[in-house]
Amino acid sequence: MFLNSPLMSFVIIFLTFCLYAFVHSLLASLKAKALAAALFGETAVARYYRLFFNGFGTVSLLPILILVPLLPDQTMYQLALPWSAFMLVGQGVGALVLLVALIQTGPFAFLGLSQPFVGNQNRETILHTEGLYAWVRHPLYTGGLLILWLSTMMSVNIFAFNLGISAYFLLGAYFEERKLLKIFGQDYQDYKQKTPMFIPWVGWK
């Protein structure tokens, strides 16, 4: 009975996503890049690692996305008007934050499409502290979290998936900031001290 229950689906989806988050964060680390550079050369890593990282992340996420509709599920809530309208507006704000942050970061560099032509110089040697980055250190994650959690419908499987992504955002932000501290040193430490992590005006450093 438990094996075919929404509770078991929750466990499978969440643990699978935790594994995904661990591997993805490991590949984003400086040590992983250093190992790749030792194996394939600095030039290859500067030009193609980001593209490989995004491609691997997308392909390895697909099995988890397939699990969400396939495994046994149960609706937790379904919001009606006017609450559904408020949630949709919030998701729209999240999508706008995501889009603006992506444009500000540089969409081609973020996806790894420009590095094959210019190397890594247009992304990881620039510390973004203006625009949305003056409000929060991780606006891409902030926008994503708004889209995830302001859904008008929530089921057990979607909840497990959203919880997994949220855990990944926390883990990813932790490892990303360790990397940025090594790259930018005191400049990033000063930025970190005065800028909240995900939520404006909330002093979670």
Q: Across the chain, what does the average pLDDT equal? A: 87
Residue scoring higher pLDDT (69 or 46): 69
**pLDDT (tens digit, 9 = 90+) per residue, 164-186?**
999 888 888 888 888 889 888 99
For residue 152, with 0-12 CB atoms within 10 Å meaning exposed, 13-18 middle and 19 or more buried, which class applies?
A: middle
Q: Is 119 left (phi over 0), alpha (psi -120 to 50) or beta?
A: left
d(CA 34, CA 92): 39
Q: What are the pLDDT digits (tens) for 104-119? A: 888 887 777 788 777 5
Rounded distance, CA 55 to CA 16, Å? 18
Give residue 104's Cα distance to chain centre.
16
Q: How confident is the model at residue 205 (pLDDT cuts 50, 70, 90)?
A: low
The DSSP letter of residue 129 is -
Residue 141 CA to residue 26 CA, distance in Å, equals 18
Q: How much is the pTM?
A: 0.84
